[in-house]
Chain A
Amino acid sequence: MIPASFDYVRPTSVAEAVQALADGGDDAKILAGGQSFIPVLRLRMGDPSLVVDLGGIAELRGVREEGDKIVVGAMTTHHDVTRDELLNQHVKLISEATKTVADFQVRHRGTLGGALAHADPAGDLAAPALALDAEFVIAGANGERTVAAADFFEDYFTTAIGPQEILTAIRFPKYTGWGARYEKFNRVAQAWSIVAVAATVKVEGGTITDARIGLTNMAGTPVRARGVESALVGQTMSEETVRAAAQSAAEGTSPTSDADAGSDYREHLAKVLTGRAVLAAAG
């Protein structure tokens, strides 16, 4: 399909990009990897006057270690995330979740920052980011600010990024040595998640000493399964313990009903998948 016409700029620095957004006004939109935005344009669900393509900004790509944090440039592709050694070692949950995103082609074009900024409730990277207490670095006319994951996701397709701001990087604390599993449930391999569970756990001497669990598509925003986390911590690792703890996975969620799943089915899936995710992460 053919999108409506729009102006297009491809800045080479964040400063230029911020300026371009300011100049473009309310109808300016950011293009990252384009895996959601281009379909929006093609289906004419969006009609921006200006598209600011971040693809030319080298500083937005790549993964680096900064003290006790791993920092991922917003324009780092999913493919690069899955191949990154620092992330595999210290933030395994994001690597695991990224491997399940769509297909090979999409992972080569799509970006971590783009997916998080798009904030599709069925997207796979918001729940891990929430569970991992990621920080979001956002640049705007007044410089840079940092938003905690808990404050970043506001609603369906809505984040703390202002209309003339750009997400530039995501900072993850290190979870070195933690087990991780992204348990994704969908109908076909390339489809969006019906429900998915992001779990990362620390097991020491057979005891779960820490656990972080995020749920995908159980509300308009990702949801932290804090009830499960607290039920797990301090417990001796066993299938029984995990399954019992997982029973509270749907607490505080408000899942939608659609053709693929009713809300009660989603709640049920959240429990089943949480159990499986934690067991796999601990195993």
Chain B
Amino acid sequence: MTTVENDAPAQEIGRDRRRKEDRRLITGRTRWTDNQALTGLLHISIVRSPFAHAEIGSIDTGAAKQVPGVVAVYTASDLGADAVQLPCAWPITKDMKSPQRPALAGSRVNFAGEGVAVVVARSAAAAKDAAELVEVDYSELEPVLDMEEALKEGATLVHPELGTNENAQWVFDSGEAGSGGSAAEAIAAAEKADDQVVITRRFRQQRLVPVFMEPRSTVVDPTGEQLVMWSSTQVPHILKTMLALTLGLPEHKIRVIAPDVGGGFGGKIAVAPEEVVTLLVAQKLGKPVKWTETRSESLLTAHHGRDQIQDLTVAVTKDGVIKALDVKLLADMGAYLGLVGPGVPILGAFMFNAIYKIPAYRFDCTNVFTTKTLTDAYRGAGRPEATFGIERMMDEVAVELGIEPMELRKRNWIKHEEFPFTTVSTLTYDTGNYEAATDQAMSMFDYDGLRREQEERRQRGDVKQLGIGISTFTEMCGLAPSRVLGSLDYGAGGWETASIRMLPTGKAEVVVGVSPHGQGHETAFSQIIADKLGIPFDDVEILHGDTQSSYRGLDTYGSRSLAVGGIAMVKAAEKVVEKAKPIAAHMLEASEDDIEFTAGKFSVKGTDKGVGIADVALAVFAAHDYPEGIEPDIDAHATFDPENFSYPHGTHLCAVEVDTETGFVQLHKYVCVDDVGTVINPLIVEGQIHGGLAQGIAQALFEEAPYDESGTLLSGTLVDYTLPSAADLINFDTANTSTPSTTNPLGVKGVGEAGTIASTPAVVNAVLDAVRQYGVKDIDMPTTPFRVWTAINSAKGTAGRGDEADVASPGAGLGSTAKDMPEGGNL
């Protein structure tokens, strides 16, 4: 791993500090939500529908109430849970169709796993025993499972009251926006032009489950003046405000605490029905109540991610210059709208053009309701989908045109001297250097050497064939400029807040609005504060996740904690220094104009006189002697609203070995060079990249949440939902180039989602590169051994026409519409 040069040993930024929070996290010495043990605590278990779509008849709670230890059994109407409207904060269009999403279903269930009743008991075991005895009379309705079928005239409706299964259609057209030409016109022209081709492909984003390590858990204590909710959430601040808005509670009477949270990956960006049910039960009984989900409940009912059908059309000159891109998406919302669910595919609208200069672009997304678990943010949220679509397409174009795939990308990408660059989708990329990252990656990978080895294996007819996959990417993260979010009809801003409390002994408590759940914020943030205030790393405490101490924040998602929250901290530290300056001047009997601050010390210019910031902190605590007219306080608070997103980028190269006898795909080599701007802690950056790669590779090779024809989730346990472990991955060769962001004072860019966004297409491109020689055109994700073997066999069996084999996505390999191009796939 290479990082930015740093020759100042005292500087914390850039140091590979071990994470200070890990001792308590990995030894179990912390207190997770489920560890909260309050006096008189009651436990709930939720009775869930086994059917995807059904009318609820009678509910018999008699037997459940007889179970020893059971305090109460409530149906939805007993709690008013059926009348609740759980919030969706992102109405993407004015006429978006939005069903009421209750906390418990009253008259109809719309996905398997939806809650219909709740048992309250003195122990979790008694609650579970009794939940099994609740008899619910269901009348089954037709499930709605296929997005294309769901949009057809006469389709069964998930929510008949909406009159359609379409949630919304969201369109961006660069011709209409004035940021480029009309894609439709450019494609029509290309179809007539002799020197251009039009290529159309359909790709499928399978449904995934975030699978955070700590299952969700909520404890509500209604006995104090403020109602206190502990929850394993990424978004304590949003949760607090949304509970107030949703339930009509006075906001100042709610305190939300996200204690240490064991992972989220977007899966805990939610106002979950279970959180509301726990609260309603606690209020009704006046006692503290806990809900903790099982892993099976988590897989079934916590929101899922991805699930799109992507139809891409590209117009490209025969020498590989892209003239237009048209993207048509179908995005499965599941049964209801999650907190930001409808906006997730829309985030992709800005990213399909990726790092390329595409003169004409159209994006047209239709969100669809089905009777499945709802989808919402999952690591990358919209951007992995877009990156997959365009990077798979770049390889398809390269194959069709017979151009080396990296060369094709070079012909289209934004050159480093062209930054800042305003894209066809209207974003302005501040900095980047795709050439530098790519050159380094190609060299580390030994691209040419692996291409030679690939050719040799082909010549020999080896059982194990090599495939090489490329993915270049950028992403918009650091969500987000509040005005931009406003223009996208998002329900909140994108600023972030930090406060610094200077203690009498010179230590600092830093209260942040972002809410870590495994990222290492406490370490990285302490490094920043240590540098900015010139105090030791160990003298900084990062406080987070409790709305009582951190009353203002917008939480952690979209790689925003450093790029937005970190900057708020820098601004607060600058304010501390500014507030301390007159006091230091007073202590030094000097003019404030002569005071300079470096490395924690205020000194008089040109002298050796100085006082440390700790001295100032003590002086304002005592407050015995300070200048007239100012307050004896150097604490500070700052809110930062970014002017732009942050645009990390990178080049990922993957080599796989495909066992042509079994279809098994073995990772052979993985190299990535990511540009995440200034690196605060290279160890944490590498960890984020590694974890991201594991999740992105998992989408390519391992994970899928399929439903059967009755709407039952088939991956209901971790036996069936195939999570990889370290044993299934290889050593990753990671490195960083650094073009600091110019839109924030630290020069940082987001890193949390980068690995996930870039890796999936690199792996799938590699798999296809290995087997395209047999006539295979596409393989659905995950590219399981069964699918790979079937694709090879079918392609061979149909004389090189893999597209005729019904093994890949519907419409896989629709092929080129070019009149004079050779039949694709065998170039």
Contacts and interface: CB of A to CB of B under 8 A. Distances in A.
A2 B124 contact: yes
A227 to B, nearest CB: 20
Contact of B714 (A194, A259, A265): A259
Contact of A272 (B661, B706, B727, B786): B661
B728 interface: yes
A266 to B, nearest CB: 9
Given A2-B125, A185-B662, A259-B714, A268 B727 contact: no
A280 to B, nearest CB: 14
Contact of A188 (B125, B714, B728, B789): B728
A191 B723 CA distance: 9
B789 A265 contact: yes
B784 A188 contact: no
Interface string B787-806: 00110000000000000000
A269 B790 CA distance: 12
B627 interface: no
A196 to B, nearest CB: 12
Nearest to B463: A272
A78 B124 CA distance: 33
Interface in B262-298: 294-296
Interface residues of B, number: 28
Contact of A262 (B125, B719, B720, B786): B786
B27 interface: no
Contacts of B719: 191-192
A4 B124 CA distance: 11
Contacts of A269: 662
B125 A187 contact: no
B782 to A, nearest CB: 9
Contacts of B456: none
Contacts of A272: 661-662
B724 interface: yes
B664 interface: yes
B422 interface: no
Interface in B668-682: none
A235 B790 CA distance: 33
A270 to B, nearest CB: 11
A239 to B, nearest CB: 12
Interface residues of A, number: 24
Interface in A5-43: 5, 43
B702 A5 contact: no
A249 B719 CA distance: 28
A265 B294 CA distance: 34
Contacts of B725: 103, 188-190
Contacts of B714: 259
B728 A5 contact: no
A5 B129 CA distance: 8
B790 A265 contact: yes
A269 B725 CA distance: 24
Contacts of A44: 132
Given A4-B129, A5-B125, A44-B132, A260 B724 contact: no
B786 A261 contact: yes
A189 B727 contact: yes
B490 to A, nearest CB: 37
A43 B296 contact: yes
Nearest to B663: A265
A1 B789 CA distance: 37
A187 B661 contact: no
A259 B728 contact: no
B211 to A, nearest CB: 13
Interface in A185-214: 185, 187-192, 194
Nearest to A273: B662
B722 interface: yes
Interface in A153-205: 185, 187-192, 194
B717 interface: yes
A268 B793 CA distance: 11
Contact of B789 (A4, A43, A268): A268
Contacts of B785: 185, 187, 194, 261
Nearest to B698: A188
Given A5-B129, A43-B717, A190-B725, A259 B124 contact: no
A265 B786 contact: yes
Contacts of A1: 128, 294-296
A268 B786 CA distance: 11
Given A185-B664, A265-B789, A190 B125 contact: no
A121 B802 CA distance: 34
Contacts of B128: 1-2
A28 to B, nearest CB: 20
Nearest to A42: B294
Nearest to A104: B727
A261 B788 CA distance: 11
Contact of A189 (B664, B717, B728, B786): B728
Q: Which residue, B661, B720, B786, has most C-beta atoms of chain A within 10 A?
A: B786
B788 to A, nearest CB: 11
A43 to B, nearest CB: 7
Given A2-B125, A5-B129, A188 B786 contact: no
Nearest to A189: B727
Interface string A235-264: 000000000000000000000000111100
Nearest to A269: B662
A43 B132 CA distance: 12
Contacts of A265: 786, 789-790
Q: Which residue, A103, A189, A262, A273, has most C-beta atoms of chain B within 10 A?
A: A189
Interface string B120-131: 000011001100
B723 A260 contact: no
B461 to A, nearest CB: 15
A1 B661 CA distance: 40
A262 B790 CA distance: 10
A191 B703 CA distance: 13
B727 A187 contact: no
A81 to B, nearest CB: 20
Interface string A267-283: 01100110000000000
B375 to A, nearest CB: 21
A2 B717 CA distance: 15
B129 A187 contact: no
A226 B97 CA distance: 63
A260 B784 CA distance: 8
A259 B706 CA distance: 10
Contacts of B129: 4-5
Contacts of A268: 789
Contacts of A188: 702, 722-725, 727-728
Contacts of B296: 1, 43
Contacts of A259: 706, 714, 720, 786
Q: Which residue, B295, B662, B706, B727, has most C-beta atoms of chain A within 10 A?
A: B662
A234 B128 CA distance: 61
A2 B215 CA distance: 14
Nearest to B293: A1
B717 to A, nearest CB: 7
A219 to B, nearest CB: 19
Nearest to A190: B725
Contacts of A190: 725, 727
Query: Which 3 A-B residue pairings sit nearest by Cβ, starting from the closest?
Result: A189-B727, A1-B294, A2-B125
Given A2-B125, A103-B727, A272-B662, 7 more contacts: A1-B296, A2-B124, A2-B128, A43-B296, A43-B717, A44-B132, A259-B786
12 contacts: A2-B124, A5-B125, A185-B785, A187-B702, A187-B785, A188-B722, A188-B723, A189-B727, A259-B706, A259-B786, A260-B784, A265-B786
